[in-house]
């Protein structure tokens, strides 16, 4: 098949690479001038184990399977990862009960190596930590996400695929047996494809509305939840990822580490109604308060506004968190078209697994 993948984020690139490996002719159309310029360059770069998500959900399945595939891919493609492990910490009895529920959830999801440890055991490995107990997840880690995307791109090209940059998709219509796609940008024009994948991230709903004949009730709402990060101006004190118990809309302001060993905090959850990428320095106050819950030694004046990312959510504050939404034929009644909505965390971890299912759906 001639396959068009819209969006050169981590999910689009994984889909394109998988389709190319299966022998299809693949073009990726990307609106910006490079890979990973959307949500994929504004996240925590954490390889999630798959603990939090309801058993049987797409997020649980793709996170657990995707994580195993991701570590294996990185090991064979020279992409840096560090399986540094993670602690989800409880600072009081109510949180301890919540963390124990997470242990049960993670075990049912098939996550390897999970165990509860006491406060003393946690302090023995992370001396700055204040907690009465923690869930230890040895499979959690960090990844060079840009290196990963470059590796996907490389393999796509090795199999004859390519990316058209500065090429926004403006209109899509089905005229049997082909999809006719109208491009804007640098080389504006039209071309025919056998199959189309909408992996446009924050632009997925807008693109779905440009697909002629696509049922409007199959376009879910887009809810923007910004996640702000603050960098720590000092020597890192933790060697693992440290997460508090989760909050509404996110996993709580956690300690993330990058592969250079730098430490930062975030993301929080800020519900917004239009895309904006500034980090309000005043949000530092709530960061100090929340971080000191598990790290009382956080010095005054040590948090510096860093970057932020926007989660393409499908539900808003107080609502039940939505699952990934993959809409293919027969749900929308159009052949060889897959729309991906709500691919927020753990989308990076899940990307290789999602890609298998998307290409299966195109081939069905």
Ligand X SMILES: Cc1cc2nc3c(=O)[nH]c(=O)nc-3n(C[C@H](O)[C@H](O)[C@H](O)COP(=O)(O)OP(=O)(O)OC[C@H]3O[C@@H](n4cnc5c(N)ncnc54)[C@H](O)[C@@H]3O)c2cc1C
Nearer Cβ to ligand X, position 106 or 309? 309
Provide the Cα torsion 348, 342, 137, 145; round to 10°.
10
Pick one of 22, 25, 32, 180: the residue that binds ligand X (CB under 6 A): 32
Report the residue closest to ligand X, judged by CB.
Answer: 347
Shorter beta-carbon distance to ligand X: residue 105 or 349: 349
Stretch that binds ligand X, among 27-35, 124-132, 172-180, 330-338 (CB under 6 A): 27-35
168 binds ligand X (CB under 6 A): yes
Q: Is 3 in the site for ligand X (CB under 6 A)?
A: no
> In the range 220-239, which residues lie near ligand X by CB under 6 A?
227
Least Å distance between CB 94 and ligand X?
Answer: 26
Give the residue from 139, 147, 86, 148 showing the smallest Cα distance to 117.
Answer: 86
Is there binding between residue 344 and ligand X (CB under 6 A)? yes
Calculate helix-pair angle for 145-158, 10-21, nearest 10 degrees. 30
Angle (nearest 5°) at CA 364 between 150 and 199: 35
Applying CB under 6 A, does 242 fall inside the site for ligand X?
Answer: no
For residue 262, what are the CA distances in angstroms to 124, 239, 289?
21, 10, 21
- Under the binding rule (CB under 6 A), the answer on residue 46 touching ligand X is yes
Q: Is 293 in the site for ligand X (CB under 6 A)?
A: no
Please select the residue that binds ligand X; options are 4, 27, 29, 359, rule is CB under 6 A: 29
| Residue 255 binds ligand X (CB under 6 A) | no
Bond prior to 210 in cis (omega within 30° of 0)? no
* Residue of the chain from 61, 254, 311, 313 that contacts ligand X (CB under 6 A): 311
Q: Does 200 help bind ligand X (rule: CB under 6 A)?
A: yes
Is the Cβ–Cβ distance between 17 and 24 less than 8 Å?
no
Which of 65, 96 has the CB closer to ligand X?
A: 65
C-beta of 96 vs 345, nearer to ligand X:
345
269 vs 298 by CB, closer to ligand X: 269
Can residue 50 be called a binding residue for ligand X (CB under 6 A)? no
Identified binder of ligand X from the candidate list 18, 43, 105, 245, rule CB under 6 A = 43
Edge-to-edge order in the sheet of strand 169-175: 169-175, 178-183, 189-193
- The answer to the question of residue 162 lying near ligand X (CB under 6 A) is no
| Contact flag: residue 37 with ligand X (CB under 6 A) | yes
Q: Which of 12, 133, 220, 342 binds ligand X (CB under 6 A)?
A: 12
Is 199 a binder of ligand X (CB under 6 A)?
yes
Stretch that binds ligand X, among 100-108, 193-201, 275-283, 299-307 (CB under 6 A): 193-201
Residue 57 as a binder of ligand X (CB under 6 A): the answer is no
Judged by CB under 6 A, the stretch of 129-137, 270-278, 298-306, 338-346 that binds ligand X is 338-346
Binding site for ligand X (CB under 6 A): 6-12, 29-32, 37-40, 42-46, 48, 168-169, 199-203, 207, 227, 267, 309-311, 343-349
């Amino acid at each position: 098949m001639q396959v068009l993948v819209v969006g050169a984020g981590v999910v689009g690139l994984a889909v394109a690479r998988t389709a190319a490996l299966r022998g299809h002719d693949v073009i990726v159309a990307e609106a910006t001038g490079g890979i990973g310029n959307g949500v994929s360059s504004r996240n925590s770069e954490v390889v999630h184990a798959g603990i939090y998500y309801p058993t049987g959900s797409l997020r649980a399945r793709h996170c657990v399977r995707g994580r195993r595939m991701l570590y294996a891919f990185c090991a064979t493609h020279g992409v840096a990862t560090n399986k540094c492990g993670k602690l989800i910490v409880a600072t009081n009895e109510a949180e301890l009960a919540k963390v124990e529920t997470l242990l049960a959830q993670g075990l049912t999801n098939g996550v390897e190596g999970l165990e509860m440890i006491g406060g003393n055991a946690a302090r023995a490995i992370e001396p700055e930590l204040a907690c009465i107990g923690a869930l230890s997840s040895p499979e959690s880690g960090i990844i060079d996400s840009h290196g990963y995307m470059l590796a996907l791109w490389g393999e796509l090209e090795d199999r004859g695929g390519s990316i058209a940059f500065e090429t926004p998709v403006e209109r899509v219509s089905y005229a049997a047996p082909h999809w006719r796609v109208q491009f804007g940008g640098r080389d504006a024009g039209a071309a025919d494809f056998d199959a189309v994948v909408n992996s446009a991230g924050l632009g997925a709903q807008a693109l779905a509305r440009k697909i002629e004949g696509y049922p409007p009730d199959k376009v879910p709402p887009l809810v923007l939840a910004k996640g702000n990060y603050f960098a720590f101006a000092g020597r890192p004190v933790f060697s693992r990822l440290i997460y508090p118990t989760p909050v509404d809309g996110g996993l709580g302001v956690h300690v993330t580490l990058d592969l250079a060993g730098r430490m930062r905090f975030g993301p929080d959850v800020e519900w917004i109604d239009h895309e904006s990428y500034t980090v309000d320095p005043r949000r530092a106050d709530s960061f100090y308060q929340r971080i000191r819950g598990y790290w009382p030694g956080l010095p005054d004046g040590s948090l510096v506004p860093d970057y932020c990312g926007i989660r393409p959510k499908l539900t808003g504050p107080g609502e039940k968190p939505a699952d990934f939404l993959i809409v293919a034929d027969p749900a929308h009644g159009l052949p060889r078209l897959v729309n991906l909505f709500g691919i927020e965390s753990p989308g990076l971890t899940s990307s290789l697994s999602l890609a298998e299912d998307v290409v299966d759906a195109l081939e069905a």
